[in-house]
A and B are shown apart, each in its own frame.
Chain A
Amino acid sequence: AQKVTQAQTEISVVEKEDVTLDCVYETRDTTYYLFWYKQPPSGELVFLIRRNSFDEQNEISGRYSWNFQKSTSSFNFTITASQVVDSAVYFCALSEAGIAGFQKLVFGTGTRLLVSP
């Protein structure tokens, strides 16, 4: 069965520090999709990025960057020069085909990031 592990329960940093959130996944599928979502205190899950298993290029979006490595089954997320507004819980998720062949997301346990001024 698919599994996503986020070993870091909580991380505290001071504003402007760089921080990396780790994500390790397990799957037997050769084709799969990985996601990162942000959950602010309001509760809504905000989509950040999707990566398919064929594309190992790293991606950068502003202060956010993602490092996907199939060899270590990891999909890590780095925030550069963190800001207080980055404080949230971040979830890594794996898309698998459910019984009927359609999508369900398997989530990690989340990493709570606290950025203090």
Chain B
Amino acid sequence: KAGVTQTPRYLIKTRGQQVTLSCSPISGHRSVSWYQQTPGQGLQFLFEYFSETQRNKGNFPGRFSGRQFSNSRSEMNVSTLELGDSALYLCASSLVGSVQETQYFGPGTRLLVL
């Protein structure tokens, strides 16, 4: 089975721009979660989607948004980029997102904001 895939792998943007990251979950997985990893804040939960609905959201400003499509693929969008948005963005999938499940992670997208 193919793992979680994320595109693009690397991205360079300038302040004020917006960016869209994409995630394809493992086949059959319907829950997709997004995490931000920075040296200062570590790994932080952004949001989780299931059946095209956002069920959980972390403590991030409204500039961070996402969506999920009917095939479970997910995108996240960051508008009005700030320097502090430079991070590794990781996507993870699981079957239905229940507490006892294991989340499987993709390779991440490294975003650099200049």
Which A residues have a C-beta under 8 Å from some C-beta of B?
A: 31-33, 35, 37, 42-47, 50, 52, 91, 95-100, 102-110
Contact = CB atoms under 8 A, between A and B. Distances in A.
B79 interface: no
Q: Binding site of B, secondary structure by majority: helix, strand, loop or mixed? A: strand
Contacts of B108: 43-44
Q: Binding site of A, secondary structure by majority: helix, strand, loop or mixed? A: strand
**Residue in A97, A105, A108 whose Cβ sees the most chain B Cβ within 10 Å:** A105
A3 B58 CA distance: 15
B48 A110 contact: no
Nearest to A96: B99
A87 B88 CA distance: 19
Interface of B: 31, 33, 35, 42-43, 45, 48, 50, 55-58, 88, 90, 92, 94, 97-108, 110
Contacts of B102: 35, 47, 50
Contacts of B57: 99
A45 B105 contact: yes
A100 B108 CA distance: 25
Contacts, number: 75
8 contacts: A44-B108, A45-B105, A95-B99, A95-B100, A97-B99, A103-B56, A107-B42, A108-B42
Nearest to B107: A44
Contacts of A97: 99
A103 B104 contact: no
Contacts of B88: 43
B99 A44 contact: no
Given A103-B97, A107-B43, A98 B48 contact: yes
B99 A33 contact: yes
Given A45-B105, A99-B57, 15 more contacts: A37-B105, A45-B92, A47-B105, A50-B102, A96-B99, A98-B45, A98-B55, A102-B99, A104-B45, A105-B35, A105-B45, A105-B103, A106-B45, A107-B42, A110-B43
Contact of B97 (A102, A106, A107, A110): A102
A39 to B, nearest CB: 9
